[in-house]
Structure 1
Amino acid sequence: MDASQEPKVTYKRVLLKISGEALMGDQGYGLHPPTVNRIAAEVKSVHDLGVEICMVIGGGNIFRGLQGSAQGMERTTADYMGMLATVMNALAMQAALEALGIHTRVISAIPMDQVCEPYIRRRAVRHLEKKRVCIFAAGTGNPYFTTDTAATLRANEMSCEAIFKGTKVDGVYDKDPVKHADAKRYDKVSYDEVLQKHLGVMDASAIALARDNHLPIIVFSLDEPGGFRGILSGDGTYTLVGG
């Protein structure tokens, strides 16, 4: 396909946010390599369009800080354990992307120089300019903040044009579409509606940070083959939050 035939992309720099659970496939825990490879192939298909991509991956498939603290563990310790889980997921995704020939950097908010780079904003921006995929790990580096908030923070710092939130469903619904056949999908919804109606797109801190910086959030199904690329090419089913 020559340049004149390539689809015109909606955004030039985006952040893809996925949950840790998205990497475990049908398993109840941990990493499912075929699922990691499938998501990496989706990322490559968008990278091949010339889009600059950064990623934030949750850690809930390995350890979730809130659940740990609910079981009596001290909250800050539980949250730090959750941050380390995100580093493991980021390294797995890096391995899958590099197997596909995509230069990738794992950048951690908690310094661990033997396995990944420390977070330095200007260096991360330069990686993106060189068309490397940047995977931001360890959240914000602080307890009490979710990876949703970390994703919104990094997207703003990297001057991303949108956050793509990959989920199990093809957008934002007024109630759980798995449990309710009459659930209504929104094509577009405001930040304030998400907060007022508790629509569960991201936590309130992340939504407020996106709203204050006019950063659109695109919620789509990560299980839909080609969905990520399709939306960037102006097609596909999704919900636009803000924008």
Structure 2
Amino acid sequence: MKRILLKLSGEALAGDKHHGFDEPTVTVVAKQVKQLVDAGVQVGIVIGGGNFWRGRTSETIDRTKADQIGMLATVMNCIYVSEIFRSVGMMTSVLTPFECGSITKLYSKDRANKYFAHNMVVFFAGGTGHPYFSTDTATVLRAVEIEADGIYLAKAIDGVYDSDPKVNPSAKKYDQVSIQEVIDKKLAVVDLTASVMCMENHIPMYVFGLGETNSIVNAVNGQFNGTVVTVD
């Protein structure tokens, strides 16, 4: 059975509004994930918090506190997206590395595996639970812990480029790139800590644009126009 870790960009889930949630966009994501679950794929999900909070741009808020606000943004995102998933017929659970009362369950690998065994989609909210670590790092950490076959990065951009395509219209898109090249050229697929963890634990990444038709299903089935980040 295949087990994947899907990282969803908070900004991508906001759609054209660029803030908060765009329910039609999230519903499209939910229906695609349901196709995977119905086909026997076990799906874990991490969601960024950028549709609510970009704390590192603030010079007035302490970094630790800013990161904690960001962690809570990811919890809100996971609760919302989890409910949309339920509305299309999936069972879900939201796990956090810190107590949130009765709102979420406390994360452990054993608990995640138990939920996977019951055909549930597991949301890993709250990052790593510590400041100075991004949701990129949380994504790779959870992927390593749950022994995922691969990390699928659904972004607002459709792959990995040699420079920012928003700034440079001549930016070159990679069909395939090694994790070592990502690190050496600082290609910003994920942050450096996450990149090194991927390399050390031999977990490939698949980067694609969330907005493309059937993008998640196509990516998992190997039929996509994004970028494969290799680790061998």
Q: Do Structure 1 and Structure 2 share a fold, with TM-score over 0.5?
A: yes
Does structure 1 residue 94 correspond to structure 2 residue 79?
Answer: no
Instruction: Note the C-alpha offset of 1:31.
Output: 1.5
How does 1:1-243 map onto structure 2 within 5 Å? 12-67=2-57, 70-243=58-231
CA distance in 2, matches of 1:179, 1:82: 26
- Deviations, residues 166-221 of structure 1 (Å, cap 9, x unaligned): 11232211122344333222121111111111111000000000100000011011
**Which residue identity does 1:61 align to in structure 2?**
N
Give the Å deviation of 1:26: 1.2
Q: CA RMSD in A?
A: 1.4
Identity in percent: 42
Which residue identity does 1:160 align to in structure 2? A
Give the number of aligned pairs.
Answer: 231
| 8 Å Cα contact 2:5/2:148 also seen in 1 | yes
Unaligned runs of 5+ in 2: none
Flag structure 1 segments of 5+ consecutive residues without an equivalent. 1-10
CA shift, 1:110, in A, is: 1.6
Deviates more, 1:36-45 or 1:55-64: 36-45
C-alpha contact 1:65 1:80 (8 A) present in aligned 2: no
| Partner Cα distance (1:173, 1:36) in 2 | 26
2:29/2:216 contact within 8 Å kept: no
Corresponding letter in the other structure for 1:17? K
